[in-house]
Structure 1
């Protein structure tokens, strides 16, 4: 029973996946140190949240542009070679972060430019990395492999900021950047040991036409298209993170500058995803993956409704309702982990290898862009309705629109894979 409940570790029997996964444990934490250090250093330089906010622009633009172009590159060149180039690029940019801090850097535009370059390398690296999984593992192991990867990413999202935030006052920014640089060599070592991975049937010349061809292919695949649509619904309408500061202060009684309630709300979704990943042994046994995605997103939507309602009731019992709010967000995080694992597995298994990189590039753009659109939408709505109503209303919209989408494309709900054994 315990083995069936805990994460399915069979993908780790593959030595190439195992090396990449183990290296990622170290690398993700190192990357999160930079995620913490960059905005902290910018604020220390300028004393302005407006400059800190520019990281969103300098991060999102290269992520979109190079995410799409990187997908085309991943369909044109040997994916091992592309990973070697981009991982080396990430190491170089991290080293530049370290050097500018070590020499007392005070140029905020240099820091933002380095951040943009780093995000460009990341945007090419990630679709390439995802596109090669079906070449390393059988299709029935992809859900488990994606669950293992997601669990590491979410765990790093918790551990990295906690460690980074504690270390900045003790050792300064330069050492955090240096630690990130060093940890990336673990991934480089794992990539070096991969076999050559040329694209099967590659006929792509990287460029705008190749990107357009990727979108055209996606449009002709209603099941794959729906995997993007339902994720956009879940994230744009259901991701309430922009409301956490206000709700922590006004609804749950925390101080205006942060505090325990603030920290708990931000940590709840990734913590739920980590727990969901640890208890993800069931994902490899699911054949109706389309239906599983719909159910997971409905759970996410209902959890966001519960989160909003708990904030509405918070004035009566702030501590108790904070516990309920954190629980709802954690449930949502676990559901999102499952949805992500199934959607990525569908995208990897049901796509021709010759176009797999471009669709993974689109996936990266959707995953990165959806929450940022949600930040704007929830912030604007909260200004009119209040944060609690905005959060609960967004959850309701997720439920309604997901049901409508499932009814509109029943082929997505019927999509299944054949499980071995």
Structure 2
């Protein structure tokens, strides 16, 4: 039998051991609490346990990376062929007009036919246009009107798939997981927005446009496969068997006009993007304040990087019940972050504030999409997702117009900072004018 250990040699040693015991016991408890907080703050991945959503999410993330790659490649190819910024500028309306027209119409179709079938058909349209871009580059056709025509077709496909995909999510998941699903989607999209252009810079060197378009077509097959594997989703309620058209679109717009909560979810986004977006000022500010055009890329990337980091730390979003007032708060935070970035004279500080603004913008997008998907009835979701697509596409372009016009009249700093402050003030005033929106909770 082994001897007992020696007792403490003095009362002071005994006291020391007695005092250290609780501290030692509390360390595992503190560690456990910290781990619990980290898990609660980390992005909620529970929707990925549902196979159909997991495939859809992965397909969207991969295919959107290819879409961003192609967007850059098209701009560079058109400029290389024409040496004209005007032709490059024409790519804007070639993208935007189909998004507005077919975004609204596609949403109406999504309410009147099987959403899985519509998503597959529209995805095939997008894929075909990408293959067309690949072939024209591979064969060195060099026809700019043809390229713009293919861009129009690609935008038509995107305009239909976007609202359809949004309307699919509440049919795949329980309502409690919709905020987490939207957070995962927006985080993946922002990641693609960053990775796609970086990949384009590598791929299109030495005019390898065919490689860029071919890579996009290959990546898009992941999204197409995810659409094919979805379960059937026939229309519900009165929309069964209806023929979509202008009447159906107007019905959706009239419904939106009778629901202040839904209307506000669109109004506050127009305020956020149309009043505060400083993107059009980046080239001038980079040249006059931050030492040259290379800073433009950093300014653009900062918002996307902030959104991705915000998404990775978004576990708390799904626990917010008062989403109306929370949406007002994060859009005000976006405006203030933009204003602070406009005042910064060090590039790193401007990037930090833009990243904070990007994180706030991601949270705003999740709340807006979640309100739409959970507040609207299923038979209206497609049409309202179409409006969502139009607002998301048009808001930043309105912001570019506002920022450029005010910048030309009053200076870049006044336009940048003034837009951010005006956004923060205006969104609070508009929110106070619609009490039902401030009272809105996830319980309805």
Deviation for aligned residue 1:418: 4.0
User: Could you say which residue in structure 2 is the equivalent of 1:317?
Assistant: none
> Is the 8 Å Cα contact of residues 203 and 211 (structure 2) preserved in structure 1?
no
Q: Distance in 2 between matches of 1:246 and 1:171?
A: 28
SS of the residue corresponding to residue 256 of structure 2 reads helix
Residue 66 of structure 1: which of 85, 98, 102 is its match?
Answer: 102
User: Could you say which residue in structure 1 is the equivalent of 2:296?
Assistant: 262
User: Could you say which residue in structure 1 is the equivalent of 2:34?
Assistant: none
Q: Distance in 2 between matches of 1:120 and 1:185?
A: 18
1:289 aligns with 2:340: no
1:12 aligns with 2:37: no
Return structure 1 stretches of 4+ with deviation > 3 angstroms: none
Residue 46 of structure 1: which of 74, 82, 91 is its match?
Answer: 82
1:403 aligns with 2:441: no
User: Could you say which residue in structure 2 is the equivalent of 1:390?
Assistant: 415
SS of the residue corresponding to residue 349 of structure 2 reads helix
1:144 aligns with 2:192: no
Q: Distance in 2 between matches of 1:296 and 1:105?
A: 48
1:255-295 deviation per Cα after TM superposition (whole angstroms, max 9, x unaligned)? xxx21x11110101011000011111111111111111111
Deviation for aligned residue 1:171: 6.6
Deviation for aligned residue 1:251: 1.6
User: Could you say which residue in structure 2 is the equivalent of 1:154?
Assistant: 190
SS of the residue corresponding to residue 113 of structure 2 reads coil
User: Could you say which residue in structure 2 is the equivalent of 1:132?
Assistant: 168
Residue 273 of structure 2: which of 217, 235, 238 is its match?
Answer: 235
Q: Distance in 2 between matches of 1:199 and 1:289?
A: 28
Q: Distance in 2 between matches of 1:118 and 1:52?
A: 16
TM alignment of 1:37-186, pairs within 5 A: 37-170=73-206, 172-186=208-222
User: Could you say which residue in structure 1 is the equivalent of 2:227?
Assistant: 191
User: Could you say which residue in structure 2 is the equivalent of 1:299?
Assistant: 333
Q: Distance in 2 between matches of 1:89 and 1:117?
A: 7
1:217 aligns with 2:255: yes
- How many residues align? The count is 406
Deviation for aligned residue 1:121: 0.6
TM-score by length of 2: 0.90
User: Could you say which residue in structure 2 is the equivalent of 1:248?
Assistant: 286
Deviation for aligned residue 1:245: 0.6
User: Could you say which residue in structure 1 is the equivalent of 2:351?
Assistant: 326
> Is the 8 Å Cα contact of residues 102 and 159 (structure 2) preserved in structure 1?
yes
Deviation for aligned residue 1:29: 1.4
User: Could you say which residue in structure 2 is the equivalent of 1:318?
Assistant: none
Q: Distance in 2 between matches of 1:75 and 1:83?
A: 12
Deviation for aligned residue 1:28: 1.6
Q: Distance in 1 between matches of 2:443 and 2:395?
A: 31
Q: Distance in 1 between matches of 2:322 and 2:218?
A: 42
User: Where does the alignment leave 5 or more consecutive residues of structure 2 unmatched?
Assistant: 1-36
Pair member with larger Rg: 2
Deviation for aligned residue 1:138: 1.2
TM alignment of 1:342-421, pairs within 5 A: 342-418=367-443
TM-score by length of 1: 0.95
Q: Distance in 2 between matches of 1:184 and 1:167?
A: 17
Deviation for aligned residue 1:410: 1.1
User: Could you say which residue in structure 1 is the equivalent of 2:361?
Assistant: 336
Q: Distance in 2 between matches of 1:190 and 1:231?
A: 29
Q: Distance in 1 between matches of 2:438 and 2:86?
A: 44
Q: Distance in 1 between matches of 2:175 and 2:370?
A: 8
SS of the residue corresponding to residue 246 of structure 1 reads helix
Q: Distance in 2 between matches of 1:9 and 1:390?
A: 39
Deviation for aligned residue 1:205: 2.3
Deviation for aligned residue 1:170: 5.0
SS of the residue corresponding to residue 281 of structure 1 reads coil
